[in-house]
Structure 1
């Protein structure tokens, strides 16, 4: 089952001080990322030997023969994940674009994120078919690469992201697929997802949905526009579908939301922050 613009989880785990023979992959069919938490890893990639120490983040692409092995003595600990999918090449491209070895040490927040994804994969009855796990993996790898990257690289794209926020607000009355957002901002899907998560804590699609619904709330509260016209203004061709999505977001139908705002506090308007739905 394919998930466009996402990653496919294949396998993942945490290796720590276990007896492990050297691994050789002659014709790998997926990407492999390894984060060295403690100790070292050594091996070769396309015949070129390497040794990487504590904190290093390594990525092995498909169809490129490689081998790796754990140290024979001392403590060591790796986190690793095999993945494929339509966004995998973009993740690898961003990884190599840094031009320098990537490393991340003593980042407990990143470690907890990685372990949370590993735990989700272990508990999922069908992890390779899980859309939620696929999205979590894309966010995890994007955040990991972002924290590894030099500060100048991380901040270089911010003006484009700010411009994209403005463009979204100006084009809410029509469909805004992820492919068009990427084209406007000139980012890959993986890059755009990473930047949105870092900036607003939401995926691009969830951010668009939030802007649609919050704009609809303003139009309902501040104008006398018909509900159908509000729906069209924020990109919903079907007023009934808009009403269902708005109620899922706010807890009230558009008409009840408008009535509550007109009548004032205590009239049934939502008291807490609404949730975001696509």
Structure 2
């Protein structure tokens, strides 16, 4: 694995570590058909996915033209102007407008080059799953649980896009050379903290040492961290520790006392209390 591939996997791994904090909200979802003279100039206020069902869609962003074919999935970031058209036979696609955030940060995806056209052969299974959940959600009278299925389908699509990028098999072409979230605080500044936390779970960590790693004053560090990631440094450390505790318990070869030491807790009682607060059961009864 190259250094750049390793960094990409580390960066995108934040979605695994903080999966419990991820919230997806579907704002609207419909199927649209357009004839051959359709042209659209727009910039959306939220994230937007198009699942191309028929015809060809040409999209121009920043003076560069991109083409989406049937089966492809088009991913737009908020506030990015585009022009879309469907020359010739027209087109048909399912669109979904949605919010995707970690904690209080609703633009977390802006730190990653995911916006673009995902080729159908890379996302076929997830796109078909979403199409099925969309059809279910449009049944007359409403099928019980249909909106949950729709949300689950969208979650699977986003997980696949994130996975493809993490594996180096997809990089969105719509945001090349730009960072839509630069003014809000970039995760790049926090990467040394993420690594440091992972390497030092066995001991307590002070905000002053984490702030120094980021090159930020201690006074500003917590607010910067929360603005960039959507949660506080303390919440992040706690989440990572609970993830590791779960993994250690699944292995069934570590005592509660050992795990407490691995994760920097002074004694098994303190660890068990923190664990139960998170999982609602003590570590001795978790597996």
TM, length-normalised to structure 1: 0.46
Which structure has the bigger radius of gyration? 1
TM, length-normalised to structure 2: 0.45
